[in-house]
Chains A and B, each alone.
Chain A
Amino acid sequence: MARLRTPPALALPLALLLAIASCARHGGAVAAGVSGGMPAWEPVEPLAFDAPPGTALRRVLDAGVLRWGCDPAGGAPFALPAPWDPRELVGFEIELVARLCDHLGVRSEPVAGDWLALIDNLRAGRTDLVLNGLEVTPERAEVVDFTVPYYRYGQQLTVRDADRGRFASLADLRGHRISVLNGSASVDVLTGAGWAEEDIAQYEDSLTPYAELKNGRVDGSLAESIIAGYYAPGVGGLHNVPGTFSPGVYAGAVRKGDAALRDAIDAALRRMMERGELGRIYQRWGVWTDAQRELGTVRGPDVARIDLAAVDAATGLDWGAVLAELARATAVTVLLTAISMPLAVLLGLVLALMDRSRRRVLSWPARAYVQVVRGTPILVQIFLVYYSLPMLGQVLGLGDALVWPALVVGIVCLAGNYAAYEAEIHRAGLEAVPKGQREAAWSLGLSQRQTLWLVELPQSFRIILPPLVNDLVAMIKDTSLVYVIGVRELTSVALGIGKSRLIVPEMLVVAAGFYLVVSLAADAFGRRIAARLRRAGLPRPALAAHATHRSAP
């Protein structure tokens, strides 16, 4: 009787997406290697370890891979997308861990994540090591175990060229706003020097503090010398005040209690220090200072420096590769939406039906769910599911059953969040079906369930199609939120490329174009279904139950 069939056109994009999904293998993991001009290391005999069963070290050795956390958006020269191919990560820490893994006899697998969340990721069991410019502080030492330090840094002040004469030290900037990298040691330095919180402008990445300095929103920028040395010249018009102060060290971090793993990493790091390998890496990336000797690092023979800016200039921007990478990231975005939205509509229906139930054991949880989900920011939900759920799993003795890959967490959160809104839409839609329809069905002898599936839902679906399409388009844009857990979707990839090449505005415009195209396509798709349904019978949906959607927080 129902003359509508699933449009066969649906099958093709779905198959395509599944194919892409299988390419986007493991959530936040990104390809890293040494190519495109990176020199290769000589083979080395791995160290031998005593790795008791049940330890993290045993797991790493058995798996043959070390998953470690870094934030490519944190940028150069630590870990960043390669200028020659945005899919590849490069940087002195990428090379450092790759070589470290040679000594351990395993493969290096960097797992991208927001810098402030790298430790959460470690504790959640998604990585076994964090090594990404993590300053050793007493607070951090309480939640993780540090390896031996591998780098000695100092703070360096940057001011505008024009202010060279006015500001020659931090003291000269007293009372002025200063920009820093969010959560970095520079924050502590400023606080210790008496800066008020509102005069410390914190940003999520290494580039923005300098851009803000150039724009004049702050009068100085404080960062570790490595960062200042790379970004300030890139932004231009800025002056790095000579000399560093408030020294500190970077070290790797493992979960508290993973002593065997830490010892192994320590041994490998010491070997690299003594053999001059670490010194060669630092020279190559232009971060060698004589202060490194204090940690026992041998400088080693002279090595030519990799000048990323020069590589940029030599290769130019390969727009073909960039667009291909953005297209791939768009596919991830589409995939997220294509899986999450149908799930949200289904789950929303279940919630709406539970809500309608006369039994409180059903209606109550549904109502509570909708209220809680609608009453909390989706960003908080994503963090909770990604970082807190795994810890809850450990507390409950579930092992790592609740440690889901970032892509899965993204889908769960988007679907779960939107379900609360779709539930309201379903509710409005079901209420908009006239009561007489139900009574006519009942008087034929149809059961409640048959009435729902054969009479009420087909009609309510036609009514709610416009708001559903509206939410579909909204979700496409909200997928950008899952970049915070390292899913390489459109926004994060565009920002990553933009920051590593210092072309953020250009990349944002291009990404916006991609979003627009996908949104328009989704809208057209929704309209086609609506037109099909109309042709198949029902008059135009009358209801405008537009649960107007909030956008990103």
Chain B
Amino acid sequence: MSGSERSDAEAVLRVEGLRKRWPDGRVVLDGIDLEVRRADVVVLLGPNGCGKSTLLRCLNLLEGYQEGRVLLCGAEVSRGSAQGHAPTRDEQRAVARLRQRIGMVFQQFNLFPHLDALGNVAMGPRHVLGLPRPEAERVARDALRRVGLEDRAHDVPGALSGGQQQRVAIARALAMGPELMLFDEPTSALDPVLVREVFRVMRSLAFDDGMTMLVVTHDLDFAREVADRVLFLDAGRVAVAGTPAEVFASDDPRVRAFLRDDAERR
């Protein structure tokens, strides 16, 4: 599972020259280029407010952007547009299709509180993929098993710990059979003792299932241990990129400052 073994695999995600401005004119993403190859785990690092979340949200068009384009498995799925994305019905449908192929895990879990774990995970298969209910629930149980929560299928989110909720959220994304999974600080809202169970699930996804993942995290241990590549983002640009070892050894002052701050925080 070393990076070189997979280096010639196809690029699941390619981002070319992505630029985004907020309506007030501030530039948040200033020409992002990146590539995530099949079964790779890419970790995005960077100081607060550098645009990591915004970048992930642009990839599945929760945010629009003005310039550049995004390719999934070699095919363009969106390109910059001044008017913003998805105004017409057809375009909305295309956006929905794109989102089916990209799983997203949020910092705040965002589980549906009125449904139990099974209901949360079966939502996509049932209503997006259109599977009959028993089939959708079978898929959902499989996904719950992969995150080790098959015995909590009928608990509502309110009855689960934070770590368990985040694992259900991962299962919810997994159940759609995505080609790419985006994680936006999946453990930041968790007590330290709960962080490990979530990372264990993510590690198993990477190593055992060969899932392609783009992960925003402040957890350097996770980056060191699991990432194939690390991108260091600063002020809306990719400042430094490389293997974890390369990036952590970089003498770029911004990286050094970031690592120093991180050490102090502990």
Partner-B contacts on A (CB < 8 A): 1-3, 434, 436-437, 439-448, 450, 454-455, 458-459, 462, 536-539
Contacts and interface: CB of A to CB of B under 8 A. Distances in A.
Given A436-B106, A441-B112, A450-B128, 18 more contacts: A1-B119, A436-B108, A436-B110, A437-B112, A439-B62, A440-B111, A442-B62, A443-B60, A443-B104, A443-B173, A444-B100, A444-B124, A445-B176, A446-B128, A462-B114, A537-B115, A537-B116, A538-B158
Given A455-B112, A537-B116, A1 B96 contact: no
Contacts, number: 86
The 4 closest A-B pairs by CB, nearest first: A1-B119, A445-B100, A440-B110, A443-B104
B96 A454 contact: no
A539 B110 contact: no
- B: interface residue count bin: 20 to 34
A458 B119 CA distance: 13
A446 B127 contact: yes
Interface in B71-118: 92-93, 96-97, 99-100, 102-104, 106, 108, 110-116, 118
Contacts of A436: 106, 108, 110
B126 interface: yes
Nearest to A445: B100
Contacts of B114: 2, 458-459, 462, 536-538
A449 to B, nearest CB: 10
A533 to B, nearest CB: 8
A308 B113 CA distance: 66
Contact of A539 (B97, B113, B118): B113
A39 B114 CA distance: 68
A455 B172 CA distance: 14
A405 to B, nearest CB: 41
B119 A447 contact: no
B118 A445 contact: no
B113 A444 contact: no
Nearest to A450: B127
Contacts of B62: 439, 442-443
Nearest to A447: B96
Nearest to B129: A445
B233 interface: no
Nearest to B101: A445
Nearest to B119: A1
Given A437-B112, A454-B123, A537-B158, A444 B118 contact: no
Contacts of A2: 114-115, 119
B45 interface: no
A503 B108 CA distance: 65
B123 A444 contact: yes
A364 to B, nearest CB: 19
A439 B102 CA distance: 13
Contacts of B169: 440
A538 B106 contact: no
Interface in B29-86: 60, 62
B106 A439 contact: yes
A444 B122 contact: no
Contacts of B110: 434, 436-437, 439-440
B11 interface: no
B156 interface: yes
A439 B61 CA distance: 10
Nearest to B136: A1
Nearest to B155: A537
Contact of B158 (A437, A445, A446, A539): A539
A531 to B, nearest CB: 15
A3 B116 CA distance: 9
A445 B113 contact: no
A448 B92 contact: yes
Contacts of B99: 442-445
Contacts of B115: 1-2, 537
A1 B118 contact: yes
Nearest to A437: B110
A1 B126 contact: yes
A460 to B, nearest CB: 10
Given A1-B123, A439-B62, A537-B156, A444 B176 contact: yes
Nearest to B57: A439
21 contacts: A1-B126, A2-B114, A434-B110, A436-B110, A439-B110, A440-B106, A440-B110, A440-B169, A443-B99, A444-B124, A444-B173, A445-B99, A445-B128, A446-B123, A450-B127, A459-B113, A462-B114, A536-B114, A537-B113, A539-B113, A539-B158
A192 to B, nearest CB: 70
Nearest to A1: B119
Nearest to A3: B116
Contact of A1 (B60, B104, B108, B122): B122
Interface string B126-160: 11100000000000000000000000000010100
Contacts of B173: 443-444
A446 B156 CA distance: 21
A441 B96 CA distance: 10
A539 B111 CA distance: 14
Residue among A439, A440, A445 having the largest count of chain B Cβ atoms under 10 Å: A445
A445 B92 contact: no
A462 B158 CA distance: 15
A441 B118 CA distance: 15
